[in-house]
Each structure stands twice: as C-alpha cells, then as structure tokens.
C-alpha cells in the first residue's frame, strides 16, 4: 500500500483480556518495527523484524507481549492479560532495508485498558 | 545505547517567527532522522539527514556528525507547525532508533 496501515485505530479493552494489534507495512519494506508511546512520553522500542532473520525482541516489556510477522509482510502484536499500564499508543513503522534508511510510521493504535 | 537529548523541551512562538531546535547525541551515528508528531499523533518524516544540510520549504536541517548534534530550523512558523518534534538516531545494526524526548512546539496566531 501507499503507507503503513494499522488497525484498529482505537481499542478499549477490559483488564485481563487479550488484544491483537495489526500492522500492514509498505509493500516491499523488509524491516518492520513496533514502538509504544505512553501519554506525553517519547517512543519506546518494542520489537524489530528484518526479512527472514530472527526478530529482535529486546524491547518487549514482559512475556505478556509477543509479535509475529507472517510472510515477511503483515505483523500482529499480541498483548495477553492486559494491564492498565499497557494503555498507550502502539506505533508500527517500516523501512526499505533497515533503520539506516529511515522509517515510515503508521497512524498508531490507541489502546485503553479499563 | 545512544543517548539523544533535545532542547528546548517546550517552545511557544508567535506565528511568523523563526526557531531552532537542537538534538545532541552521545555517540557517533551514521544516520539521524527528524519527525513531526502532529496533534493527532501521526508521526511524519521530516528529514533523513546523516550529515550536511537539507531544506524542504520552510524547514531545514543540519547535522554535524563529528560534533554529534543536529539542528532543525523552522522559518516563518505557522499554526500547523504545532506539535512535537522528535529526533532519532539508529543503533549500529539499524535494529532500532533511539528517540529523544521531543520538543513541544506551539505556534499561536
């Protein structure tokens, strides 16, 4: 597609429920990143996918968070047993060959855990 | 990891004024990117600028990699320039960017 597409744009969920967030990167971009931005804060790195390499999961805050990328394209970020501190905007970005060539971000998913 | 510091943290401008935003980074980098996050949360690429100077309309950016800083210039500011400006530097492997804490800009008419 023309840009990075994320869905849903907004998600309200009850504490303890699982949620799935989706990211459709720009066609042909081999690198995909997930970041999290809490209210009024900067961006926190979560996970990085590059082609068929093993993902860099070093930013995932707990084992309740996981992500996969199928077929080198669409990615899903899953948060299990959501907690109120998980409330944030989850941003996905893609890049042609990796971070050294610049990112393009999606519009984000605003997650609210009540 | 790389430390990225931005200044000023907050800035209020009268429409039409010029401003300079600064980004310092703690280690040498081979890339630097400036983003604008609009009031609706969308992050927009402004510049990919590992070194030198680039201009795009009223905006320009300069990175002096040897001195570990980058500057973003906004001339003749408009209310639509309001938002948060982030700079970001990548790790050597490019597996993530380290973001600064941003400069929050408000342009008043």
Q: Is the pLDDT of residue A21 over 60?
A: yes
Check residues B27 and B104 and name the one with the higher pLDDT. Answer: B104
The number of beta carbons lying within 10 Å of the beta carbon of residue B52 is 10
Chain B window 43-102: which residues touch A at a Cβ cutoff of 8 Å? 43-45, 48, 86, 88, 90-91, 93-102
Q: Is A44 left (phi over 0), alpha (psi -120 to 50) or beta?
A: beta
CB-nearest to B30 from A43, A100, A110 is A100
- Model confidence at A98: pLDDT above 60: no
Rounded Cα–Cα distance for residues B55 and B68 (Å):
20
A100 Cα to chain B: minimum distance (Å): 5
- With cut-offs at 50, 70 and 90, classify the pLDDT of residue A107: very high
pLDDT value at A1 more than 60: no
Over 80: is that where the pLDDT of B73 sits?
yes
Do B41 and A108 lie within an 8 Å CB cutoff? yes
* Residue B83: predicted pLDDT: 95
Contacts of A98 (CB under 8 A, 6+ apart): A30, A31, A50, B93, B94, B95
Nearest-angstrom CA–CA distance, B20 and B17: 11
Q: Do B95 and A56 touch (CB under 8 A)?
A: yes
For A40-74, the pLDDT digits (tens) are: 778 999 999 988 888 999 999 999 999 999 887 99
pLDDT confidence of A6, banded at 50, 70, 90? Answer: very high
**Mean pLDDT, range B82-87, rounded to an integer:** 96
Pairing of strands A43-50, A31-37: antiparallel
pLDDT over 90 (residue B31) = no
């Amino acid at each position: 597609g023309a840009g990075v597409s994320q869905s849903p744009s907004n998600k309200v969920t009850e504490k303890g429920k699982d949620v799935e967030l989706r990211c459709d990167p720009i066609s042909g971009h081999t690198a995909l990143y997930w970041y999290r931005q809490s209210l009024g804060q900067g961006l926190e790195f979560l996970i990085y996918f590059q082609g068929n390499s093993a993902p860099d999961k070093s930013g995932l805050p707990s084992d309740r968070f996981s992500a996969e990328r199928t077929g080198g394209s669409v990615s899903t970020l899953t948060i299990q047993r959501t907690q109120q501190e998980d409330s944030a905007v989850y941003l996905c970005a893609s890049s042609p060959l990796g971070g050294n060539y610049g990112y393009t971000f999606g519009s984000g998913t605003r997650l609210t855990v009540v | 990891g790389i430390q990225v510091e931005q200044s000023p943290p907050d800035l209020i401008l009268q429409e039409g004024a010029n401003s300079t935003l600064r980004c310092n980074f703690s280690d040498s980098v081979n890339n630097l990117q400036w983003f604008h996050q609009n009031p609706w949360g969308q992050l927009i690429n402004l510049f990919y600028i590992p070194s030198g100077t680039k201009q795009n309309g009223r905006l320009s950016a300069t990175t002096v990699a040897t001195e570990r800083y980058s500057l973003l210039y906004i001339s003749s500011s408009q209310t639509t320039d309001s938002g948060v400006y982030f700079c970001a530097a990548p790790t050597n492997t490019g597996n993530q960017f380290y973001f600064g804490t941003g400069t929050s800009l408000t342009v008043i008419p």
